[in-house]
Structure 1
Amino acid sequence: MTTEVRTATIIGAGTIGLGWTTLFLARGLRVRVNSRRADADRVVRDGIALFAPTIPGGGADPAELVTRLEIEPDLKRALDGTDVVQENAPENLEIKRELFGRVAAAAPEHALLLSSTSSLPPEAIGADLPDPGRVLVGHPFNPAHLIPLVEVVAAEGADPALVERAADFYRWLGKTPIVPARAVPGFVANRLQSALLRESIHLVREGVVTVEQLDAVVVHSIGLRWSTVGPFQAFHLGGGQGGLRHWLNHLGAGLEQGWRGLGQPSMDEATVQKLVTQADEAFAGRTYEQLVAERDARQTAVLRALAELTPERPEQGERGRNAT
């Protein structure tokens, strides 16, 4: 068993995989990206160049990062001597199950086996392994190199020490790992996002607001609020000196009635076309790369401001260096 995380294997060169790759490299790891794309080398280097400037802590030099980068299309070679595997294959259970069967057979025993899946339960992904609990979900929030949250989800009966090793590793990366008591479809963050997205689509579909206006509403109200306090703390403070108890007893009585009035939009062709047309109009004139750079610069500014107001947590120190 190694005492340090030195080498990581990233499987997949999509958006999430590129974010993880950039962050892992910025933390000093040697990173092997396993991808069979013919243009993998260009795609990965372009992704690193795009994400490196907004790595938390002041950005990183893409030229320095790629000195520790390998592109390895052969899975077995990509796993040789690795300490951490972060999988980012398509959201297809059969693909992931077969893939982790090969990963578990080739990776060292000490290696953390982590999936970025946004919906599939870990016990289903690891079902064909001698120890299904060895596969853990490490679900990031996009952009993976920047947003702190990682949902660490374990199969029922998984070794608690293994779960803590994974959480410890993510802390060392600078992430904020949350370990739910059990897996639920979509996990936690995506369920919250989906609930808001459903009502957002309903309001646009009904012509109450446009896509651009809806985004502005969120950015200038609840998005700003939620960057500093969560929903429960927000309403706890909204209850004044009486806190959440006062708020629920006095203003929370109409919650159920309000929930019944929320929309359940049909995602038919007309709805999709309306959303896409308005999105094209709202985001016209800027390339994908420009929009990403603008988003990441703003999110970095928010994180930097919050960091100045929040003392560093002890667990975000060097503990993760001993994660495996």
Structure 2
Amino acid sequence: MKPTNLTDVSEFLLLGLIEDPELQPILFGLFLSMYMVTILGNLLIILAVSSDPHLHTPMYFFLSHLSFTDICISTTNIPKMRVNIKIHNQHISYTGCLLQMGLVTGFGEFESCLLAAMAYDNYVAICHPLMYTVIMNPHLCVLLILLSLLIGMGNALLHSLMVLRLSFCTNREIPHFFSELAQVIKLACSDTLINNILIYFVASLVGGVPVPGVIFSYTRILSSILRMPPVEGKLKAFSTYGSYLSVVSLFYGTALGVYISSAVTDSSRKTAVASVMYIVVPQMINPFIYSLRNRDMKRAFKKIINRIPTSLMMSPAFYLFLLNESK
């Protein structure tokens, strides 16, 4: 029997994270909470940076773009998963699958480059403070953002076009909660050698710059912190940059682990669960790590909250801020 090509009139099945129907409502509530915290936290950062002139610096310029990217990544995959759970329908159209795959790939690479740019900004601020304003000038900051966006969207477009050439047969079950590139390619009944080579070639080429750049930057930062004379200053610096490094390690480490494991193992369900650690969790905790520990951001948050009508102060974001202030 000739294989059926589903690229014209087709849909895939997103199997999600768990199979037990009784646990689906719990999963729905959990991801709803995580999505709301992600959106509210990152929107607060964007509003604070855009409204406060004191935050118009390279660090907060990159941070606002990181928050925008986090919102886009979360919106690309979480709402669709929640809708599937709510209506008990796991289907996603071929076009929707391709679009979701491209957006996740593009924004994920954009975030990778942004984290590298932020690491370089921290390196210059700590290791070359007298030259900071000269090195991190507005032209360089805009150039880094545009270059990161170009790399991310170019990567997404390249992989999407290569998937378009594939033929898909009767097996259309994606063992994931979103249309992950490697899992979609595994469903093809045509030759996928070029696609697989392209994935690892682009990953090694594009990731070969951000990851070593991040490692170099934080290594030099650590070396500079160790030379600081006051003990309290060292502890504060370790606390701040240790938190940054933990988030960066979580994002890069799990993303790399997921793509390597997908090539050497067939345990797709475990890979899907691990994907949460780079596609959902970092986007949720970035506002806490990069902002709520920062006095300038707290001051900007207070100004925003003072402008909010009393009726809106019952929102979760308000109490989240108060809880952090009390610590």
TM-score by length of 1: 0.26
Structure whose residues are more often helix by fraction: 2
Structure whose residues are more often strand by fraction: 1
Which structure is richer in relative contact order (CA contacts within 8 A, separation 6 or more)? Answer: 2
TM-score by length of 2: 0.26
